[in-house]
């Protein structure tokens, strides 16, 4: 069936297009205008904005941390709704099915789960498979596990075996890329470390955080995995940690790297309270290092729950738990920390965190390298995205929010002096085109012929919160799934992953390691043995496969 979207303003920055025109869809793909054929279905979108479906590069929507978060905080939807957040006050709104529905209603069609534990990947994929409509992918965690650290012991990396181990792990867990969380920090936590910097050594292993990140960069580069290592730096959330972020950027040596939720590393230590905005310092470095991309991790006020594999940081953060309950679980190399948190407008620190995230977005010289995220749910629930779009696109809205924040926070922030407003095209870059490019998903994030027909249509409004909260139309792979902000058809998406080649000897070595230390066989954790939905998985090619 040939579908025509007629007369909309098509905003497609990947193809340098911002003009009124038509789109044609057939067999789930965008096609050229067919000659001599009339469309079977026409949607008049005159006066409306047409974009590719949005892509979330970093959102915790499945896996051990998320499951524990739901179990610890079943009341989260109720508390969020009381705080004015647009989420239904029922536990169902905090689950997998509701996740896909709400993302689709906002015009999102692809979402990346950024922290799968290798031995828990089956659970993560089972949850991902329960999310309707949207396509998904997962990033698998390495860098604190004993097998990797053993190969890096004493700074003498067994690079070929590490490369094979990374490839085997990516394949075994059906992941799209690699996540490194506070490299070496969780292992050091087992030895009672409570701080862990870039050049600190992991006890017993004698390798630094810097050395771990560099080795993982090299392995991913050698394998040709499209998405570079997705790195959660040391010293998250600590005053003065902007210097850690800058030092980590300097350590990349020009290799591709992606830094997660950098708002949580944008902190200076100036002022009477020893806490200030480090956004200008951070963005000077990000703008300079063109090999690096970042997502922001914007904070919004209200109740949420923080979930992270950075158990060292979460253990410290438990003191601020609100409500007063938390979970810390330290497993083999990969821990879990779940700590509820309520960001408050009257809090000096929270208000400054909110301002720092916006500063980072607005100080970016290249929007293709500074991507949108709230690190859902850590900075804010993903249902808050439209409010943030409004803040980024309307300086008067920012000023209105700023007026209600503590004077002490405004005094050490730079936000009031920034007049920039993001355009619709820039918003399409940070939420569509740039994430697709970064992830190697070449058939989405744009509207050229051949792209998958993931399309979102909006009515342009000055109030961007209302505009982006409910799309007029959403097409997923050519199927109309949302009309007037409501899901009208439930479909099931695919899961994208890579399959880099590796020497088969690594399977024997890993099997012997698992048998010796855990009395388990790695095949028990192989995702391909557990998820059997037809056409569920799709492979993204590696450049060196």
Residue 504: inside a domain? no
* Number of structural domains found in the chain: 1
The CATH number of whichever domain residue 369 belongs to comes to: 3.20.20.140
The torsion angles phi and psi of 62, rounded to 5 degrees, stand at -160, 160
Residue 189 within any structural domain of the chain: yes
Per-residue model confidence as pLDDT tens digits over 304-339 = 999 999 999 999 999 999 999 999 998 766 788 999
pLDDT given for residue 87 in this prediction? 65
Statement: the pTM of the whole predicted model exceeds 0.85: yes
Radius of gyration of the chain, Cα coordinates, nearest whole angstrom: 22
Total residue count of the chain as it appears in this document? 545
Nearest to 431 by CA among 59, 95, 178, 61: 59
What confidence score (pLDDT) does residue 86 get? Answer: 64
Domain range for 96 is 52-487
> Does residue 539 belong to any structural domain of this protein?
no
Contact 187, 205 (CB under 8 A): yes
As a whole number, mean pLDDT of residues 219-241 equals 96
Please check whether residue 502 lies inside any domain of the structure. no
Q: In this structure, what DSSP letter does residue 431 have?
A: I
- The three-state secondary structure class of 134 is coil
Q: Residue 458, SS3?
A: strand
Evaluate the CA torsion angle 536, 541, 544, 545 in order and state its sign: positive
Q: Decide if 22 is inside a domain.
A: no
How far apart are alpha carbons 358 and 34 in whole angstroms? 44
Q: Is residue 533, in this structure, part of any structural domain at all?
A: no
Q: Where are the beta strands (DSSP E) in 148-287?
A: 177-181, 230-232, 257-259, 267-268, 276-277
**pLDDT of 88 higher than 80:** no
pLDDT at 331: 76
Evaluate whether residue 385 is within a structural domain.
yes
The pLDDT of residue 276 is above 90: yes
Is 150 part of any domain? Answer: yes
CA–CA separation, 230 and 393 (whole Å)? 27
């Amino acid at each position: 069936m040939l579908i025509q979207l007629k007369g909309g303003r098509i905003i497609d920055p990947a193809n340098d297009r911002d003009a009124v025109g038509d789109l044609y869809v057939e067999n789930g793909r965008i096609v050229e205008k067919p000659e001599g054929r009339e469309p079977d279905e026409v949607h008049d979108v005159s006066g409306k904005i047409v974009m590719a479906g949005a892509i979330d590069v970093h959102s915790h929507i499945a896996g051990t941390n998320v499951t524990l978060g739901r179990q610890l905080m079943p009341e989260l939807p109720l508390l969020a709704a009381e705080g004015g957040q647009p989420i239904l006050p029922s536990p169902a709104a905090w689950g997998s099915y509701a996740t896909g529905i709400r993302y689709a209603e906002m015009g999102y069609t692809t979402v990346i789960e950024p922290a799968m534990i290798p031995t828990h990947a089956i659970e993560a994929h089972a949850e991902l498979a329960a999310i309707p409509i949207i396509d998904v992918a997962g990033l698998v965690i390495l860098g604190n596990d004993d097998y990797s650290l053993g190969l890096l012991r004493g700074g003498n990396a067994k690079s070929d075996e590490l490369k094979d181990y990374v490839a085997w792990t990516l394949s075994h867990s059906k992941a799209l890329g690699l996540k490194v969380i506070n490299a070496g920090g969780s292992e050091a936590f087992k030895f009672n470390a409570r701080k862990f910097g870039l050049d600190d050594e992991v006890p017993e292993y004698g390798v630094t955080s810097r050395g771990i990140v560099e080795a993982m960069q090299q392995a991913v580069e050698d394998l040709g995995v499209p998405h570079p290592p997705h790195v959660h730096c040391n010293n998250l959330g600590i005053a003065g940690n902007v210097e850690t972020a800058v030092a980590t950027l300097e350590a990349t040596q020009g290799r591709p790297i992606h830094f997660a939720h950098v708002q949580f590393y944008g902190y200076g230590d100036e002022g009477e309270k020893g806490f200030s905005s480090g956004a200008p310092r951070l963005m000077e470095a990000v703008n300079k290092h063109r090999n690096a991309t970042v997502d922001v991790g914007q904070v919004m006020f209200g109740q949420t729950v923080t979930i992270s594999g950075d158990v060292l940081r979460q253990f410290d953060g438990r003191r601020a738990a609100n409500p007063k309950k938390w979970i810390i679980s330290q497993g083999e190399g990969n821990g879990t920390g779940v700590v509820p948190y309520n960001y408050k407008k009257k809090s000096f620190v929270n208000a400054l965190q909110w301002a720092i995230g916006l500063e980072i977005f607005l100080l970016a010289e290249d929007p293709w390298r500074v991507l949108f995220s709230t690190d859902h749910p850590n900075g804010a629930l993903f249902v808050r995205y439209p409010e943030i779009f409004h803040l980024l696109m309307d300086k008067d809205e920012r000023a209105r929010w700023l007026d209600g924040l503590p004077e002490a926070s405004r005094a050490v922030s730079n936000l009031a002096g920034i007049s920039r407003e993001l355009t619709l095209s820039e918003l399409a870059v940070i939420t569509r085109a740039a994430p697709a490019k970064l992830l190697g998903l070449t058939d989405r994030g744009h509207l050229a012929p051949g792209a998958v027909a993931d399309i979102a249509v909006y009515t342009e409004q000055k109030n961007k919160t209302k505009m982006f909260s409910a799309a007029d139309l959403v097409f997923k792979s050519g199927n109309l799934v949302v009309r007037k902000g409501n899901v009208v058809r439930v479909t099931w998406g695919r899961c994208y992953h890579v399959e880099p080649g590796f020497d088969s000897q690594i399977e024997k070595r890993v099997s012997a390691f698992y048998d010796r230390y855990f009395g388990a066989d790695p095949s028990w954790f192989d995702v391909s043995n557990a998820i059997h939905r037809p056409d569920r998985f799709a492979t993204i090619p590696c450049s060196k496969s």
